[in-house]
Amino acid sequence: MTDHSEHRQQSLTTATEARGLEALISRAARAGKGAAPVERWNPDFCGDLDMEIKADGTWFYLGTPIGRMPLVQLFSSVLRKDADGRTYLVTPVERVGIRVADAPFIAVEMDVSGSGDAQIITFRTNVGDVVEAGPERPLRFVDESETGGLKPYVLVRGRLEALVARPVMYELVGHGEEIEIGGKTMFAVRSKGAVFPIMPADQLKRLSA
């Protein structure tokens, strides 16, 4: 049992070498498309990997951008963010930590269909996920007071979110409307019957003045 555990630990630490990374890739690979059932897997933690997802969604390994999109998509399919706030690559036999500067995904395109309560806002991420915002995939808006900016996020799966790219954010805000929520008039957007407040309507008016 000890030998097996030590071997698995060693297999992840050697992922800092090219052959080690290839081994990790082979273990992450799976049949079919879409995200792997990482929420059902409970492997041991095997250490951290020198891999980072930058704020613009670019993946780096050993300080070098990963230029192969199929490889990025493969890794993204085995991502999981746990209750400890950390993000991991998870396979049935191992869990390794990686660094994420902001959100692991970027929403690079959106589509709006329907209107009113029947309106649906759909996002496409930089790694190919298609997400319909709604009760199960909520939108949240973070007000960056230090920059005066607004950062929208949409839940993709599990605890993993996509940051809505700035051009897409402007398009999203263009579908906003004033809606009364809890007795307060809010500027908000609707999708799949859910209402997502962006900011108080009077705050928006002050910013637009």
DSSP code of residue 80: E
Cα separations in angstroms, 16 against 61, 101, 182, 208: 9, 20, 52, 50
Q: Give start and end residues of each alpha helix (H) in the chain.
A: 2-13, 18-28, 69-76, 166-173, 201-208
Q: What is the pTM of this model?
A: 0.83
User: What is the tens place of the pLDDT at every residue in 37-70?
Assistant: 899 999 999 999 999 999 999 999 999 999 888 8
Say how many C-beta atoms besides its own lie within 10 A of residue 150's C-beta: 18
> Domains in the chain, start-ordered, CATH in brackets?
2-100 (3.10.540.10), 105-208 (2.30.270.10)
DSSP code of residue 138: -
Q: What pLDDT does 14 receive?
A: 44
Say how many C-beta atoms besides its own lie within 10 A of residue 90's C-beta: 23
User: What is the tens place of the pLDDT at every residue in 106-161?
Assistant: 999 999 999 888 999 999 999 989 999 999 999 999 987 655 578 999 999 999 99
pLDDT at 167 over 80: yes
Q: Which two tokens stand for residue 64?
A: 């070098």
CA distance 59 to 90: 16
Computed on alpha carbons and rounded to an integer, the radius of gyration of the chain in Å comes to: 20
User: What is the tens place of the pLDDT at every residue in 12-46?
Assistant: 444 444 455 566 666 655 433 567 889 999 999 99
Look at residues 75, 89, 82, 56 and name the one whose alpha carbon lies nearest to residue 165: 56
How many Cα atoms within 13 Å fall on the side-chain side of residue 181?
16
CA distance 1 to 203: 61
